[in-house]
Amino acid sequence: TRSTRPQRLLTHVKQRARRGDAQSVITTIDDYCRAREWAMNVGDEKGSILDQVVCEVSPDVALELGTYCGYSSVRIARLLPPGARLLTVEFNHDYATIAREVIDWAGLQDRVQLLEGASGDLIPQLRQKHGIETLDFIFLDHWKDRYLPDTRLLEDCSLLRRGTVLLADNVICPGTPDYLEYVRSSPRYQSQYFSSHLEYTRAEDGLEKSVFLG
């Protein structure tokens, strides 16, 4: 049977990126997705905004919802301080398998813990099963209609603390209207929009950064 797009992306990474070199994995994926096959990675333009926010927050504990092929896991993990860790959640087994290999190829397996399962099931387990007290940084990039319910779940599980930063991809395209309305109108968040473009295209998209005020 024909290979899948993520499988072809992983093959390309193994053929073209230097093992242990996270930047070469990032560049290889971006070049492939721009030139050969589009894929829903956060990409280079929005990725550099993600980089800026991660550097600014310098999280000890980061959570990513929606690993897909691991592109943003690599972007985030390469910037983490020693001893810090990224937990990334993915419920599609085939994507999780590809992502583990991409993360390993980038040499970041010691900083990234890929949790295979649904965010709605895993978020309530973070404290007692994964020893998480509170989260410093969350990157939302999974199904767009799940950003709001999962944010509410993170609140209800007391996983947010004053200053926790949530960064949401695709708030314009495909769009996350209910989430945007919530974080922009709630007194418990201070939100800021970063205008950019949909990965590898000229279409408008952007990231919403929301700081939990406690």
Ligand X SMILES: CNc1ncnc2c1ncn2[C@@H]1O[C@H](/C=C/CNC(=O)c2cc(-c3ccc(F)cc3)cc(O)c2O)[C@H](F)[C@H]1O
Asked about 170 being catalytic, the answer comes back as: yes
> Is residue 147 part of the contact set for ligand X (CB under 6 A)?
no
- Beta-bridge partners for 167: 139, 209
Catalytic residue among 169, 205, 208, 209: 169
- Only one residue has tokens 């085939």, namely 94
Write out 133-183 in H/E/C secondary structure: CCEEEEEECCCHHHHHHHHHHHHHCCCEEEEEEEEECCHHHHHCHHHHHHH
Q: Please calculate the CA angle 127-123-162 and round it to the nearest 5 degrees.
A: 70
Catalytic residue among 44, 64, 144, 208: 144
> Is residue 118 part of the contact set for ligand X (CB under 6 A)?
yes
> Is residue 64 part of the contact set for ligand X (CB under 6 A)?
no
Give the residue closest to Mg ion by C-beta.
Answer: 169
Between 84 and 173, whose beta carbon lies closer to ligand X?
173
The total number of residues shown for the chain amounts to 214
Report in angstroms how near the CB of residue 213 gets to ligand X at its nearest: 26
Interface region with Mg ion, contact rule CB under 5 A, candidates 4-12, 25-33, 53-61, 139-147: 139-147
- Only one residue has tokens 């599980």, namely 157
Interface region with Mg ion, contact rule CB under 5 A, candidates 26-34, 75-83, 135-143, 183-191: 135-143
Please give the positions annotated as active site: 141, 144, 169-170, 199
